[in-house]
Amino acid sequence: MFRRRSAGAPDVLDDAEGAPEPDSADMVQARPGQTPKKGAPTPKRSEAQARRRQPYQAPTDRKAATRESRQRDRDSRQRKTLALQRGEEWALPAKDKGPVRAFARDYVDARHGLGEYYMFLVILLIVLLVIPSATAKLLADVLVAVVLVVMATEGWWVGRQVLRVARERFPGQSTRGVRMYAALRGIQIRRMRVPKPRVNRGDAV
């Protein structure tokens, strides 16, 4: 079954058995037109930056953690208050949101109204009521009646104008409650209005 090799035959099998096995990397490099693989993929820049960032270390002291939490709450409230005063939409309450309400504020802030002096008249009324005089009390009663009539008349007229123009400029938008909204803003002192006026008196709106 087995044939003997001739004496002059080359010792091919012995050489093959004694030769070292080729490395897998050498086999890959031996293939033409193929770039050898790297040991690991190159990380992205965002991943490298994330690794360099130090994780947030929560304070171990309970009092310190409470102080930090309160400080964050104060900063958040202050940020929202400033945004509310500037009239930024995200910080406004529901009653002030929308283009119709923004127009109503601008319309009222751009006009000269008697209602914004209402608070000063209230101070005068308090002084007249304190004076122990029948004449002063009678004058206070007359002044209260006049103020109420003026405020009601001006509020009705301003609200009517705002409603009419808002319906023309913002078709499809809800105008519910805008008349009362404009009237109430009109009786506030200009410096105390929130959001703050963004137009000057006399500006075209």
The tokens 């099998």 sit on which residue? Answer: 13
- Above 70 in pLDDT, residue 59? no
- Above 70 in pLDDT, residue 200? yes
Q: Is the same domain home to 88 and 146?
A: no
Q: Long-range CB contacts (< 8 A, 24+ apart) of 167-174?
A: 169/103, 170/99, 170/100, 170/103, 173/98, 173/99, 173/100, 174/98, 174/100
Q: Is the same domain home to 133 and 176?
A: yes
Average pLDDT of the residues in 89-93 = 92
- Above 80 in pLDDT, residue 3? no
The pLDDT of residue 29 is 44
Q: Is the same domain home to 86 and 110?
A: no
The pLDDT of residue 38 is 53
18 within a domain of the structure (yes/no)? no
Under the banding of pLDDT at 50, 70 and 90, the label for residue 125 is confident
What is the overall mean pLDDT for the chain?
80
- Above 50 in pLDDT, residue 12? no
Domain range for 142 is 98-205
With beta carbons less than 8 A apart as the criterion, state whether 181 and 95 touch.
yes
| pLDDT tens profile 140-182 | 889 889 888 999 999 999 999 999 999 999 999 999 999 999 9
Q: Is the same domain home to 141 and 71?
A: no
In whole angstroms, what is the distance from residue 152 CA to residue 190 CA? Answer: 19
42 within a domain of the structure (yes/no)? no
Q: Is the same domain home to 108 and 195?
A: yes
Q: How far is CA 59 from CA 30, 50, 52, 55, 119, in A?
A: 58, 22, 21, 12, 50
Closest CA relative to residue 157, chosen from 177, 187, 179: 179
